[in-house]
Amino acid sequence: MAFDFKKEYKEYYMPPKKPVIVNVPKANYIAVRGKGNPNEEDGEYKQAIGILYAVAYTIKMSKKTDYLINGYFDYIVPPLEGFWWQDGVNGFDTAKKSDLNWISVIRLPDFVTKSDFDWAVKQASIKKKLDCSKAEFLTVDEGLCVQIMHIGPFDTEAASVEVMDKYLTDNEYENDVTDLRLHHEIYLSDVRKVAAEKWKTVIRHPIKKKQEK
């Protein structure tokens, strides 16, 4: 049976609909960076997703090629994720989606090395006839975070963030969003097939213990 990250690492992919604190280990990702409204038809964000999946499935299907990845095991491609921020804004102004910065990512199995990744980028570009040169091998060490399962459209995430913020205050923690520790979302629903009110999105924020004054 193929390895399923969501099932094997439920602590990180399937939180309850209430805030929980987790210590997220370092992980490697296929990443594409960009800026702008993610809803724009044929925009930069949707092009980035195409690149991510092209590289992700090239790695997964490498077992059917002459390229052998050391330690390879069969797995289900993990869900799409994203790190988001707006310059000079604490949180998000959802009315200004064109100001969004993002790093769109798909997690890599630990057996994938940088050289394996570079091979996959070249192969995906050739096989898919798609320029995948924007893809990068990104290592993220999130550490201590709070997360929650948000149910509903992306534009209603502020309500779930408020719940997380109250939980932090009640438990003597505070948000620790920096240039390296960002607002993180994991998309568990296929938005093309599931009604918006039923979308499942993991929202994760970096945190630290509240400093005594």
pLDDT band at 94 (very low <50, low <70, confident <90, very high): confident
How much is the mean pLDDT over the chain?
95
Percentage above 70 pLDDT, the chain: 99
Percentage above 90 pLDDT, the chain: 90
Q: What is the pLDDT of residue 89?
A: 79
Q: Which 3-state string (H, E, C) describes the chain?
A: CCECHHHHCHHHHCCCCCCEEEEECCEEEEEEEEECCCCCCCCHHHHHHHHHHHHHHHHHHHHHCCCCCCCCCCECCCCEEEEEEECCCCCCCCCCHHHEEEEEEEECCCCCCHHHHHHHHHHHHHHCCCCCCCCEEEEECCEEEEEEEEECCHHHHHHHHHHHHHHHHHCCEEECCCCCCCEEEEECCCCCCCCHHHCEEEEEEEEEECCCC
Q: What is the pLDDT of residue 95?
A: 74
**pLDDT tens digits along 110-166:** 999 999 999 999 999 999 999 999 999 999 999 999 999 999 999 999 999 999 999
Residue 1 above 70 pLDDT? yes
pTM attached to this predicted model: 0.95
pLDDT band at 212 (very low <50, low <70, confident <90, very high): low
**pLDDT tens digits along 22-55:** 999 999 999 999 999 999 988 999 999 999 999 9
